[in-house]
Structure 1
Amino acid sequence: MMGPLGAMRALSGAVAKCFMLAQQQHSNSSQRVLLPCISSLVRQAHTAQIKPVTEKEQAALSKIRNIGISAHIDSGKTTTTERILFYTGKIKDIHEVRGKDGVGAKMDSMELEREKGITIQSAATYCTWKDKQINIIDTPGHVDFTIEVERALRVLDGAVLLLCGVGGVQSQSITVDRQMRRYSVPRVVFVNKLDRVGANPWKVIQQARDKLKLNAGAVQIPIGVEEFHEGVVDIVKRRAITFGGAKGLDVVEGPVPADLAEEVEARRAELIERVSEVDDQLAEQFLLEEPIEAEQLAAAIRRATLANKFAPVFMGSAYKNKGVQPLLDGVSDYLPCPTDVQNIALDIDNSEQELTLPCSPSGPFVGLAFKLEEGKYGQLTYMRVYSGKVAKGDFITNSSSGKRTRVPRLVRIHSDELEDIQAASAGDIVALFGIECASGDTFTDGSVNFAMTSIKVPDPVMSVSLTPKSTDQLANFQRALQRFQREDPTFTVSNNAETGETIISGMGELHLDIYVERMRREYKVDCEVGRPKVNYRETIQARAEFTYLHKKQSGGSGQFGKVGGFIEPLPEDSTTRYEYANEIVGNVIPPEFYPACEKGFREAANAGSLIGAPVEGVRVVLNDGAAHAVDSNEMAFRLAAIGGFRQAYASARPTILEPVMKVEVTVPVEFQGNVMGDLNRRKGMILDSRQEAEDAVIEAMVPLNSMFGYSTVLRSNTQGKGEFAMEYSHHAPVTKEQQEQLTSAAGKKA
C-alpha cells in the first residue's frame, strides 16, 4: 500500500503531466481538462490513505462498546448508569440521584443536577465488563436539553433505550427513538421499574411496537412484578437469574422455575418467530423445524440488532439492583463494536463527496469534536476518534478553519474526573484540553481533508431578555454568555438594537432558567429576567409577482437596478425553509450582479413585514430585470431585490406562525377533567387520553405562548401531584385576531 509520502510524490508528477496535457490542447479553456484531472488524482491520493481494518485491529476493536443511555425524563437513566459503574467496579458504592446522602449519583456531578434530581448535561464515563471496555454517555431526559442527546447519539455506536415499566412509551421516548433512527443507532431496550405498582412489561413492549414501530421482542421474562419482583429468566439460554445480597451483587443462575416453564417456551417461540422475519439464517432453521440452540439464537439476534431490524428487550429494576448485570451482558452480546458501524465522511477536496471511513487505527487520524465544556483548566473538547491515532504532543488540523494545533493534553473522562492518557486510537471517546474549536468540527492529521457528517441542531423556540442587576457584573455576564454559547448550540444570544437588551434564546423555560441559575452560581451574576417571548415566524399563502426598480440620482454616479419575478409558497412537505431560483434568460441583468440579487432576497426573507420575524416556506424566482451601463452596481441590485420581495410579500397573503408544543400531562385520574378543561382554555387540541394504573395520561398540541407558567397552574390544579413534559412540534398559523394584535404591537414598537 502506498504511504503518504509516496502518494504525494505520485500526485505531484501526475499534476505536471496534466499541465502538459492542457498545453497540448491549445485551448483557452484548459481548466476544463486540468481541474477534473487534478480532482481525480486528489481522490486517488485520499483513497491511498484509507486502509481497511486488519484482523489484529478487528480483534482489539471487537472488545469496545460505545453506548448511550437515553429515555424519557425520570425513567431511571442515571440510576441505571450508577449500578453499571458499581457492578463493573468503577465506583465503590451506590448513591442515589437526588443526593440525599450528601453525595449524589456519580454522573450528576453538577450541584444543580443533584438538587433538581435531573440530568442537565450529558456525562461520559468508561468501565470494563468481563472482557469488554464500555464507553458510556448518560444523557438528559428533559426535552429542553435534547441537543445533549442529539450529539451523543451522533458519535455512539449503540444505545440502551430505557422505558418505564409503568409509564411505558412516553413523549420523550418517541423523540429519543427518532434521534436514534436519524443516526441509525442500534438499540437494546431495558424495561425498568418492574418493582413499582402497576408495572407491566408486556404492555410496554406492545407500546414499543405500536408507537415506536420497533420490531421489539423480549429476551427475558420477569420472575414476579411489583413487590414480588425477584429476577428474570433468560429465555435465550433458558436460565433463571436472581439477585441477592444488599446491593444485588450475588447473581445466582439456575433452572427455570416450574411455574414459568410453559411461559418461557411460548415466549421463546415468539422470539424466534420475530427474529426469523428479519434474519434469513434463522428463518431457514425455523422453516425446516430444526432445533435452535442458544448460541444460534443469540447470533441471529445480534445480526438483526446490528441491522436495525430488531430490538431485544431486557427487564429489571435498577433501583432495586435487579437486572443490570444481564443488561451488561446484552450490551456486550448484541450491540455493535466500532467496526460494525459504517462511518460516513465528506471529502472536502472532492465537492464533499461521501466516502466510507474504516475504523482503522492504522489509517489517517480523523476525529469529531462533538461537545465542548468549560473547565477549570480551560476548554474541554469531547472527541470521538473515527480513524487513526492521536497522541499527546501531536499536531492536528481543524477541517473547518484549516488551523493546525498541537494537542497539549489528552484525557479519559469519568464524569467530573479526568485521567491523563498518552494516546487514543480509532473507536475511542476521549477529551482534549487547550483546543479552540466549535461543536461539530472535524480534526485530521493533515494528510486528508475530511469532515464527518454534521449534528442536527434544532432551532430555539423561546427567548427572554436578560440584564445584570449591577454594572460591576457586566464582565462576568459577558464571559458566561460566551461560554454557554460555545457549549450549547441551542443556546443563542442576540441584542435588541432598539432597547439595548440582551436576548437569550433556548428550547424552553427550564432550559433558560437553568442557564440563569448557573450564571448566578458559577459567575456570581444576578440578572433581571424579562417575560418570555415566543419565536414567531412568518410565511405566505399565495403566489405574488413583483417588478421593482431601484433608481437613485443625486449627483455623480447613481444607482440603477431593476428586478422582476415572483414569490410562492413551498409545498407543505418541503424539507427546506427557503428556496431561490434564477430563471433569467439572456443578459437583462449582467451575471456579476446575480449574487447581489440573491443576497438581497435572502436578507429580505430574514425579516417579514408583519412583525419582523423570519420568513419561511417561501420560494423566490428571479426571471426578469434591467441594468444601466453606468449606474448599475451590486448595491443597487441588492436594494432592488429587497424592494421586490417586500412588494410581492404584501400581496401574497402573509401570515404569522407560532410554535406549537406537543404536551404530555400525567395526573391522578380524579384531576383529569380539570386538566383537560385547562388545556382547552389554552387553545390546546387534545390528541389522546388514556389511563395507566392510577394515572391519566393526556396528550395535546398547545401553542407555546399559552404554556408560560403552566407548571405552577398544574401543581395548583392537581394538589402538586401532576407532571408534564413538553417538546416543540411545529409552527402553525395564528388566529386572525391574534395576528392583528401582534401586528399592532409590532407597529407601536416601530
Structure 2
Amino acid sequence: MTLLNILRSRTCLKFANDFGLRSQYKLARCYSDDNKYAVHAPLNRIRNIGISAHIDSGKTTLTERILYYTGRIAEMHEVKGKDNVGAVMDSMELERQRGITIQSAATYTVWKGYNVNIIDTPGHVDFTVEVERSLRVLDGAILVLCAVGGVQSQTLTVNRQMKRYNVPCLAFINKLDRMGSNPYRVLSQLRSKLNHNAAFVQLAMGLESNCKGVIDLVNERAMYFEGNYGNNVIIDEIPQDYRTEASEKRQELIEHVSNADETLGDLFLEEKVPTVDDLKAAIRRSCLKRKFTPVFVGTALKNKGVQPLLDGVIDYLPNPGEVENIALIERDGQETEKIDLNPARDGKSPFLGLAFKLEAGRFGQLTYMRCYQGMIKKGDNIYNARTGKKIRLSRLVRLHSSNMEDVNEVYAGDIFALFGVDCASGDTFVTDPKSNISMESIYVPDPVVSMAIHPANTKDRDNFAKAIARFTKEDPTFHFEFDPDVKETLVSGMGELHLEIYAQRMEREYNCPVVLGKPKVAFRETLVAPCEFDYLHKKQSGGSGQYARVSGILEPLPPHQNTILEFIDETVGTNVPKQFIPGVEKGFRKMAEKGLLSGHKLSGLKFRLQDGAHHIVDSSELAFNLAACGAIKEVFEKGGWQIIEPIMAVEVTCPDEFQGVVMGQLNKRHGIITGSDGAEGWTTIYAEVPLNDMFGYVGEIRSSTQGKGEFSMEYSRYSPCMPELQQRLVEEYQRSQGILTDEKEKKKRKN
C-alpha cells in the first residue's frame, strides 16, 4: 500500500500520531474516495486549466487519461473506439459518431491534493467560440501539439486567443507513437511560428513504436510507465546512451529560462549551477508571465507522459490568486474605473461571478459560471448586473461532463453551474445590485457563412422555432434572421460544418428535419438614364368609371443613394388634386416591390410627378394608383434598365506566404483589391467583392492557406453587375414566367 492509502485508513490514526503525520492524515482523509470531490481546497491548491489544440491533436484522449489517472473515472474509452462507449468528455451522441468535440465540456478532479478544474475544448475552427469563452475564464492552459502535424492552423488561432486573455500555457507534444513523429521539428515551429520562448523540460526515449518513456530534464531522471494502462510510474537513472543529449538539452533549458527570468539569469552569468528548486521556481515565474513555455512530451493514447504533465500543471501553472482579474465600475458621467478583484476564499468580499456558457439542460437553462470573488451558498440571492434581476439559488452544481454533482457553497476560483437562470453569455452576477460593477465580456467573432434554411415539413414549424431559439441563445456565433428582400430565413455561422451540425441536432433533438441551401442574393433593378412618362388610365364604360393621367420623369439616383426610392410632387395647380397624390406614390412603391426585368425590387429611383389630369366624377385615389403602375410599365418598355448587386467589403488575414494565392482568388471572384498591410508575418488584404461570388469562399480560403487564413465581410454598397450575369438573371426570370420557352431559347442561342 502507498503511504496515502495507509493514512486513509481510520485504524492508522495512532500510527499517524506516533510519527508526527497527523496533518497528512487529515489531508488524506479529506481526499478519500467518498468525499474528495466535495472538498473546497485552499486557493493555492486550485488549478483552472483548459486543453486546447488543432483538430485531431488528442485533446479529448489526453483528458480521458487525466481523469483515469486521478481516479475520476474507473476505466478509459477511446474517442472513436470499437466498444461504442466513447470518451467521457464527448457526451453528445454526434460527438461520439464523428469522433470530434463540438461543445466544450467541464470537469474537475484531484491530483496530489490539488483541485484541478478542466475544460476540454473543440479543435475545429467552426467551434472557435467554445475555445474563446473557455479561455476567458481559465487561469492556465495546455497547448497540445501533434508530434507529426506540429503547429497547424487552429494552433495559431488558439495561440492568439491565449494571448488575448493573457493565459499562461504548457506545451504538450502528443502522439510520439505515430509514424513520422518529430518533437524537435515541433519545438522549432513553436519558436518560429508562434514566437514562444520554449524549451524541452522532458525528452522522449525513443519514437514511434520504440517509445519507452520520458527523461525529466529538471530532476534529471528517467520515467517509465508500466502496467496495462501506464499506471505504475517507474523512476530510474537516465540510460547511458541518452545522458549526453539530456545534459545538452538541460543546459538549453537553463539558457532559455535565464533569458526570461532575472534571478536564474544572474546565476547563469555567475556560472553557478542552479539547483532543482531554483530551476523549478524560475520556470514557474517565467511561465506565469508568459515569457517561457515549458515543453512536455508523451503519447496519451499509449499512456505515456500524462502523470508528469499533471505534475507540470501543479508546478508551473498559476492558481486563481496569481492571475490578475479586473472588474469595471461604471457610473453616469464618470470615467470607467478599473478595480482588482480579491480571489481570497475567506468569503469576506462580495460575490462576483461571470456567466461564460449557456446550455439547455434537462431541468431548464444550465448556466456555466466562474466565481472570481467572494462566495455563495445554496439559497442565497444574487443579481444580474446587466438587467438588475434578482435570482434565488435553489441549486448549485459542479460538472463532470454531462453529469452534475450538487454542492452547498462555491468559493472564488471555482467553476460551477446554476439552473433556471435567465441570462446571456457574458453577464456578470453580483450580490449588491447598486455596485455598478461588471466584468469585461467575451470576444465573439462575426459569422462568415450564411445559408438558407427551412423545415422539411411545415408541421414541424413549432419545433423548428424552439430549436432556433435555443441554439441562438447558447451559441453567440450562430445567427438567425429573416431577409425580407429575398423572402428567406437565413442562418449564419463560422463555417459549413458549424451549420451542418446544428441542422443534424435539430433533426435528432427536436425531430425536425431541415433543408439547408445556398441563400439568394438581393439583386436590385434600376434605370440607366432618366426617362419621361405620360400615362393615361381611362376606364369609362358606363356607370362609375376610372380616369387619371400622370406625367413626369423617372430618373436614377446617384450611386451612393442607389438603395432608396424617392417620390417628389412637382405639380402646380389643380390638374392633379392633392388628395390623389398619395395614390400616385402608393402605385409607384407597389410596382417597385417586383421589377419587370428580373423580378427583383426596384431601387435608386426618383419619381418626379410634374403634371396630369383628372375627371370631376371618375377620378379617385385608386385610379391614380393604377395610373402610376401603368407609368412604370411604360418606362420599362422605353427606358434602359440594369441590375445592380450587393458589393461586400472583404478583409482577409493570412500568413505572408499565401498573399499571392489569396489575391488571385479574390480577382477570380471579380474582386477589386483596395489595399493591404502586414505585421509579424501576417498580411491583411482589403477588397470589394460581389456577394454573389463569395459563396463557398470559406472552404476555398481554408484549403489554400492550410487552414490559417481567416476573413470577414460586411455590406459596402450596390453596384452594376456583370453583363453575362444580368443576361442569365433575366433569362431565368423569363423562363419562370413562361415568357422564354425552350424553343425560343434554342433560336436565341442559334442567332
Structure 2 length normalisation: TM-score? 0.68
Counterpart of 1:359? 343
1:309 paired with 2:291, answer: yes
Counterpart of 1:488? 475
User: What is the one-letter code of the residue matched to 2:649?
Assistant: L
Q: Counterparts in 2 of 1:362-441, with a 5 A limit?
A: 362=347, 363-441=349-427
Kindly state the Cα deviation for residue 534 of structure 1 after the two structures are TM-superposed: 9.2
Kindly state the Cα deviation for residue 728 of structure 1 after the two structures are TM-superposed: 2.5
Q: Counterparts in 2 of 1:712-727, with a 5 A limit?
A: 725=707
Kindly state the Cα deviation for residue 230 of structure 1 after the two structures are TM-superposed: 1.0
1:663/1:725 contact within 8 Å kept:
no
2:446/2:712 contact within 8 Å kept:
no
Kindly state the Cα deviation for residue 360 of structure 1 after the two structures are TM-superposed: 2.4
Kindly state the Cα deviation for residue 348 of structure 1 after the two structures are TM-superposed: 2.3
Q: Distance in 2 between matches of 1:468 and 1:340?
A: 50
Q: Distance in 1 between matches of 2:522 and 2:165?
A: 28
Counterpart of 2:56? 74
Kindly state the Cα deviation for residue 469 of structure 1 after the two structures are TM-superposed: 2.0
Over the aligned positions, Cα root-mean-square deviation in angstroms equals 4.2
1:117 paired with 2:99, answer: yes
2:54/2:123 contact within 8 Å kept:
yes
Counterpart of 2:460? 473
Deviations 1:534-564 (A, max 9, x none): 999xxxxx999xxxx99999999xxxxxxxx
Counterpart of 2:497? 510
Q: Distance in 1 between matches of 2:297 and 2:502?
A: 36
2:378/2:396 contact within 8 Å kept:
yes
Deviations 1:38-83 (A, max 9, x none): xxxxxxxxxxxxxxxxxxx998100000000000000000000000
What secondary structure, in the 3-state scheme, does the structure 1 residue paired with 2:218 have?
coil
Deviations 1:324-360 (A, max 9, x none): 0000000000000000000010012364321111212
Kindly state the Cα deviation for residue 529 of structure 1 after the two structures are TM-superposed: 1.6
Q: Distance in 2 between matches of 1:681 and 1:146?
A: 29
Kindly state the Cα deviation for residue 679 of structure 1 after the two structures are TM-superposed: 12
1:172 paired with 2:160, answer: no
Q: Distance in 1 between matches of 2:696 and 2:123?
A: 21
What secondary structure, in the 3-state scheme, does the structure 2 residue paired with 1:62 have?
helix
Pick the aligned partner of 2:696 from 687, 705, 708.
Answer: 708
1:67/1:157 contact within 8 Å kept:
yes
Q: 1:218 to 1:442 in 2, by over 3 A?
A: same
Kindly state the Cα deviation for residue 468 of structure 1 after the two structures are TM-superposed: 1.2
Q: Distance in 1 between matches of 2:493 and 2:480?
A: 9
Q: Counterparts in 2 of 1:732-743, with a 5 A limit?
A: 740=722
Unaligned runs of 5+ in 2: 1-38, 524-558, 571-576, 580-600, 605-645, 658-663, 672-684, 734-751
Unaligned runs of 5+ in 1: 1-56, 537-541, 557-608, 613-653, 666-676, 685-699, 716-721
User: What is the one-letter code of the residue matched to 2:401?
Assistant: S
Q: Distance in 2 between matches of 1:729 and 1:504?
A: 18
2:449/2:698 contact within 8 Å kept:
no
Q: Distance in 2 between matches of 1:154 and 1:306?
A: 16
Pick the aligned partner of 1:239 from 189, 212, 221.
Answer: 221
Q: Distance in 2 between matches of 1:410 and 1:496?
A: 41
- Return the index of the structure with the highest Cα Rg: 2
1:462/1:533 contact within 8 Å kept:
no
2:701/2:710 contact within 8 Å kept:
no
What secondary structure, in the 3-state scheme, does the structure 2 residue paired with 1:125 have?
strand
Counterpart of 1:275? 257
Q: 1:392 to 1:714 in 2, by over 3 A?
A: closer
Q: 1:226 to 1:367 in 2, by over 3 A?
A: same
Kindly state the Cα deviation for residue 98 of structure 1 after the two structures are TM-superposed: 1.5
Q: 1:77 to 1:408 in 2, by over 3 A?
A: same
Counterpart of 1:60? 42
Larger CA deviation: 467-476 vs 511-520: 467-476
1:407/1:434 contact within 8 Å kept:
no
Q: Distance in 1 between matches of 2:298 and 2:512?
A: 44
What secondary structure, in the 3-state scheme, does the structure 2 residue paired with 1:390 have?
strand
Q: 1:226 to 1:723 in 2, by over 3 A?
A: farther
Q: 1:551 to 1:533 in 2, by over 3 A?
A: closer
Counterpart of 1:455? 442
1:158 paired with 2:140, answer: yes
What secondary structure, in the 3-state scheme, does the structure 2 residue paired with 1:101 have?
coil
Deviations 1:179-219 (A, max 9, x none): 00000000000000011111111110110110000001110
User: What is the one-letter code of the residue matched to 1:258?
Assistant: Q
Q: Distance in 2 between matches of 1:701 and 1:316?
A: 43
Q: Distance in 1 between matches of 2:456 and 2:62?
A: 41
User: What is the one-letter code of the residue matched to 2:198?
Assistant: A
2:701/2:707 contact within 8 Å kept:
no
Q: Counterparts in 2 of 1:650-729, with a 5 A limit?
A: 656-658=648-650, 660=652, 708=696, 725=707, 728-729=710-711
User: What is the one-letter code of the residue matched to 2:450?
Assistant: S
1:443 paired with 2:425, answer: no
Counterpart of 1:318? 300
Equivalent pairs counted in the alignment come to 564
